[in-house]
Chains A and B, each alone.
With several copies, the nearest count.
Chain A
Amino acid sequence: MKIKKEKIKDFILLTPEEERIDAHNSTEFKEYILDLIKKSEINLIIQLDQVRFIDSSGLGALLAGFKNAQRKAGKLLLVNIQPQVLSMFELTRLNRVFEIYADLDEIFESEP
């Protein structure tokens, strides 16, 4: 799985460069995230603008990252979710679990 990793202020920005996150690549995706958190990179932004499709295992990978980051008093934010992918968060009510932002500006505008 191709994932772009950047540093942006106090966050690591991860951009999966894949159209699909499904059971074929979600384990790798999850391990990638958990590995960062293990190395104390606990503030993550996951940018999903290139992801056209996500399945339940992809949501599970994000949730694993979210819970692990929180356990270490970190954050996992989601940004730039395509509309159809967003409906999957809504259907599962995971939009109420995750902090979801429209774009990067929205994350940082409130910060000093």
Chain B
Amino acid sequence: MTAAEFQVDLVIPTQTKYLSLIGSIGEHIAKGLENYSGDKNALAYQLNLVLTEATTNAIKHSNSDNPKDTVRITIHIYDDELVIKVYDHGQGFDLDSVPLPDDLQESGRGLFFIRELMDSVEYRQEQDWNVLEIRKSLK
């Protein structure tokens, strides 16, 4: 993996009004991928969705004691892979123990979408942030 061809690093207040901006960045990026052999419009929707879901979670579970808390989102596009990282200052959680949603359950489909549409998902600590790291191959 060489240097990223495209990278974006965003820091936003913990407000849902920024979701459409984050999502549309994902859409634009997908539509601009020249070497992607798959369906770019489908990927555009998927990135929009995955970024929206991950950012929503980071906003929802941010540090509620700090009204100035922020969420950070980075997207790196390499030749053959894209890497999204979403950082929060919340209490953290155990990704592996999140169950699959039932058919009639009203919530709990965010991580399901992320897992279903991307290739790998991890959640870990890095300095004072929690990081959800999402990868997808672009081959």
Contacts and interface: CB of A to CB of B under 8 A. Distances in A.
Interface in A39-96: 53, 55-57, 59-61, 63-64, 67, 84, 87-88, 91-94, 96
**Which of under 10, 10 to 19, 20 to 34, or 35 or more describes the interface residues of A?**
20 to 34
Q: Which 6 A-B pairs have the closest CB atoms?
A: A56-B109, A24-B16, A60-B106, A23-B56, A84-B45, A56-B110
Interface of B: 16-17, 19-20, 23, 41-42, 45, 48-49, 52-53, 56, 59-60, 101, 103-110, 112-113, 116-117
Given A23-B19, A91-B116, A57 B41 contact: no
B104 A20 contact: no
Nearest to A91: B116
Contacts of B48: 53
Interface string A9-32: 000000000001011100000000
A56 B59 CA distance: 15
Contacts of B45: 53, 84, 87
A8 interface: no
B52 A55 contact: yes
A94 B112 CA distance: 13
Given A57-B107, A91-B116, 12 more contacts: A24-B16, A53-B23, A53-B49, A53-B52, A55-B53, A60-B109, A61-B106, A63-B104, A64-B106, A67-B104, A84-B42, A88-B49
Chain A interface mostly: helix
A63 B106 contact: yes
Nearest to A97: B103
A64 B60 CA distance: 20
